[in-house]
Structure 1
Amino acid sequence: MKVIKVKSLRGYRIDVSFEDGVNGIIDLTELVKKGIFQELRDEILFSNVYTTGYSIAWSEELEIDALTIYAELLGKSPEEVFQSPHYASN
Protein backbone atom coordinates (compact mmCIF):
# COMPACT_ATOMS: atom_id res chain seq x y z
CA MET A 1 0.00 0.00 0.00
CA LYS A 2 1.19 3.48 -0.86
CA VAL A 3 0.53 6.70 0.97
CA ILE A 4 -0.99 9.15 -1.48
CA LYS A 5 -1.54 12.07 0.91
CA VAL A 6 -0.33 13.20 4.30
CA LYS A 7 -1.13 16.47 6.03
CA SER A 8 -0.10 17.74 9.45
CA LEU A 9 -2.79 18.82 11.89
CA ARG A 10 -2.63 20.60 15.23
CA GLY A 11 -1.74 18.60 18.30
CA TYR A 12 0.92 16.42 16.61
CA ARG A 13 -1.63 14.63 14.45
CA ILE A 14 -1.43 13.68 10.79
CA ASP A 15 -4.19 13.00 8.28
CA VAL A 16 -3.11 10.11 6.05
CA SER A 17 -4.68 8.60 2.91
CA PHE A 18 -3.63 5.38 1.21
CA GLU A 19 -4.16 4.39 -2.40
CA ASP A 20 -6.63 1.62 -1.44
CA GLY A 21 -8.99 4.12 0.24
CA VAL A 22 -7.88 3.56 3.85
CA ASN A 23 -7.53 6.94 5.53
CA GLY A 24 -7.68 8.56 8.93
CA ILE A 25 -6.03 10.70 11.54
CA ILE A 26 -3.12 9.43 13.63
CA ASP A 27 -2.06 11.07 16.88
CA LEU A 28 1.74 11.16 17.19
CA THR A 29 1.86 12.91 20.57
CA GLU A 30 3.59 9.97 22.25
CA LEU A 31 6.06 9.54 19.38
CA VAL A 32 7.33 13.12 19.60
CA LYS A 33 8.35 12.45 23.21
CA LYS A 34 10.84 9.72 22.25
CA GLY A 35 14.37 9.62 20.89
CA ILE A 36 15.11 11.31 17.61
CA PHE A 37 11.42 12.12 17.14
CA GLN A 38 11.65 14.74 19.92
CA GLU A 39 12.81 17.10 17.17
CA LEU A 40 9.21 17.04 15.90
CA ARG A 41 8.01 18.92 18.97
CA ASP A 42 8.96 21.96 16.91
CA GLU A 43 5.56 22.58 15.31
CA ILE A 44 7.10 24.18 12.22
CA LEU A 45 9.23 21.11 11.58
CA PHE A 46 6.25 18.83 12.30
CA SER A 47 4.15 20.72 9.74
CA ASN A 48 6.70 19.88 7.01
CA VAL A 49 5.53 16.26 6.81
CA TYR A 50 5.58 14.57 3.39
CA THR A 51 5.30 11.11 1.92
CA THR A 52 7.77 9.08 -0.08
CA GLY A 53 4.94 6.70 -0.96
CA TYR A 54 6.12 4.01 1.42
CA SER A 55 6.93 6.19 4.39
CA ILE A 56 5.80 9.33 6.15
CA ALA A 57 8.75 11.64 6.64
CA TRP A 58 10.01 14.96 7.84
CA SER A 59 13.60 14.41 6.68
CA GLU A 60 15.79 11.50 5.60
CA GLU A 61 16.44 10.73 9.28
CA LEU A 62 12.88 11.22 10.56
CA GLU A 63 10.43 8.85 8.97
CA ILE A 64 7.81 6.25 9.83
CA ASP A 65 7.13 3.19 7.71
CA ALA A 66 3.72 3.44 6.02
CA LEU A 67 2.84 -0.11 7.11
CA THR A 68 2.98 0.99 10.76
CA ILE A 69 0.52 3.82 10.13
CA TYR A 70 -1.70 1.65 7.92
CA ALA A 71 -1.91 -1.02 10.64
CA GLU A 72 -2.77 1.56 13.29
CA LEU A 73 -5.60 2.93 11.15
CA LEU A 74 -6.97 -0.61 10.81
CA GLY A 75 -6.49 -1.38 14.51
CA LYS A 76 -4.12 -4.24 13.73
CA SER A 77 -0.46 -5.02 14.26
CA PRO A 78 1.91 -4.53 11.31
CA GLU A 79 2.46 -8.30 11.30
CA GLU A 80 -1.28 -8.94 10.87
CA VAL A 81 -1.46 -6.53 7.94
CA PHE A 82 1.71 -7.89 6.34
CA GLN A 83 0.33 -11.46 6.45
CA SER A 84 -3.11 -10.57 5.09
CA PRO A 85 -3.99 -11.63 1.53
CA HIS A 86 -5.00 -8.01 0.76
CA TYR A 87 -1.49 -6.76 1.54
CA ALA A 88 0.12 -9.52 -0.53
CA SER A 89 -1.81 -8.36 -3.60
CA ASN A 90 -0.43 -4.80 -3.39
Structure 2
Amino acid sequence: MYLSIVDVKPLKDYQLLLTFENGEKRIFDMKPYLDKGIFKELKDERVFRSVRVSFDSIEWSNQADIDPEVLYEKSFEIKETGT
Protein backbone atom coordinates (compact mmCIF):
# COMPACT_ATOMS: atom_id res chain seq x y z
CA MET A 1 0.00 0.00 0.00
CA TYR A 2 1.34 3.43 -0.90
CA LEU A 3 0.22 6.36 1.25
CA SER A 4 1.75 9.82 1.41
CA ILE A 5 2.85 11.32 4.69
CA VAL A 6 1.14 14.59 5.58
CA ASP A 7 2.69 15.25 9.00
CA VAL A 8 5.68 14.12 11.06
CA LYS A 9 6.67 14.83 14.64
CA PRO A 10 9.90 13.68 16.27
CA LEU A 11 9.35 11.91 19.59
CA LYS A 12 11.68 10.84 22.37
CA ASP A 13 13.87 7.76 21.98
CA TYR A 14 14.31 8.29 18.20
CA GLN A 15 10.72 7.61 17.30
CA LEU A 16 8.57 9.46 14.78
CA LEU A 17 4.84 10.11 14.88
CA LEU A 18 3.68 9.89 11.27
CA THR A 19 0.31 10.95 9.90
CA PHE A 20 -0.60 9.43 6.55
CA GLU A 21 -2.97 10.84 3.95
CA ASN A 22 -5.77 8.50 5.08
CA GLY A 23 -5.60 10.07 8.58
CA GLU A 24 -3.90 7.06 10.11
CA LYS A 25 -1.28 7.83 12.77
CA ARG A 26 1.65 5.47 13.15
CA ILE A 27 4.87 5.29 15.17
CA PHE A 28 8.16 4.53 13.40
CA ASP A 29 11.24 3.58 15.41
CA MET A 30 14.47 4.96 13.88
CA LYS A 31 16.83 3.19 16.34
CA PRO A 32 17.52 0.18 14.06
CA TYR A 33 18.72 2.56 11.32
CA LEU A 34 21.02 4.81 13.38
CA ASP A 35 24.17 2.78 12.70
CA LYS A 36 23.74 2.79 8.92
CA GLY A 37 25.14 5.28 6.42
CA ILE A 38 23.74 8.80 6.49
CA PHE A 39 21.35 7.85 9.29
CA LYS A 40 24.30 7.85 11.74
CA GLU A 41 24.07 11.65 11.66
CA LEU A 42 20.58 11.40 13.20
CA LYS A 43 22.14 10.38 16.51
CA ASP A 44 22.66 14.13 16.91
CA GLU A 45 19.30 15.07 18.41
CA ARG A 46 19.31 18.46 16.64
CA VAL A 47 19.55 16.71 13.28
CA PHE A 48 16.96 14.08 14.27
CA ARG A 49 14.51 16.80 15.32
CA SER A 50 14.94 18.60 11.96
CA VAL A 51 12.66 16.03 10.28
CA ARG A 52 9.96 17.46 8.02
CA VAL A 53 7.51 16.37 5.35
CA SER A 54 9.04 16.49 1.89
CA PHE A 55 6.78 15.74 -1.06
CA ASP A 56 5.09 12.45 -0.06
CA SER A 57 7.65 11.33 2.53
CA ILE A 58 9.98 12.76 5.19
CA GLU A 59 13.45 14.26 5.10
CA TRP A 60 16.03 15.56 7.55
CA SER A 61 18.31 18.58 7.29
CA ASN A 62 21.21 16.29 6.31
CA GLN A 63 19.20 15.15 3.23
CA ALA A 64 18.46 11.68 4.66
CA ASP A 65 15.05 10.34 3.72
CA ILE A 66 13.06 7.11 3.86
CA ASP A 67 10.59 5.71 1.38
CA PRO A 68 6.98 6.20 2.59
CA GLU A 69 6.20 2.53 1.90
CA VAL A 70 8.97 1.48 4.32
CA LEU A 71 7.71 3.97 6.89
CA TYR A 72 4.22 2.51 6.66
CA GLU A 73 5.21 -1.17 6.63
CA LYS A 74 7.73 -0.89 9.49
CA SER A 75 5.59 1.30 11.77
CA PHE A 76 2.73 0.46 14.08
CA GLU A 77 -0.68 2.11 14.25
CA ILE A 78 -1.68 4.06 17.30
CA LYS A 79 -5.29 4.28 18.30
CA GLU A 80 -6.47 7.64 19.51
CA THR A 81 -8.90 7.42 22.36
CA GLY A 82 -11.63 9.94 22.86
CA THR A 83 -12.72 11.12 26.29
Band of TM-score, shorter chain: 0.7 to 0.9
Distance in 1, matches of 2:27 and 2:13, equals: 11
Which SS does the other structure have where 2:63 is aligned?
Answer: coil
Query: Paired residue for 2:34?
Result: 32
Residues paired across the two proteins, number: 75
TM-score of the two chains, using structure 2 as the length reference: 0.79
Q: Which protein is richer in helix relative to its size?
A: 1
Which ranges of structure 2 fall in alignment gaps of 5 or more residues? Answer: 78-83
Higher relative contact order (CA 8 A, sep 6+): 2
Query: Paired residue for 2:80?
Result: none
Query: Paired residue for 1:46?
Result: 48
What's the CA shift for 1:53?
A: 3.3
Query: Paired residue for 1:64?
Result: 66
What's the CA shift for 1:71?
A: 1.6
RMSD of equivalent CA atoms: 1.8
Q: Which amino acid in 2 is paired with 1:66?
A: P
TM-score of the two chains, using structure 1 as the length reference: 0.74
Q: Which protein is richer in strand relative to its size?
A: 2
Provide Cα deviations, 1:22-54, integer angstroms capped at 9, x if missing partner. 221111111111111100000011000001132
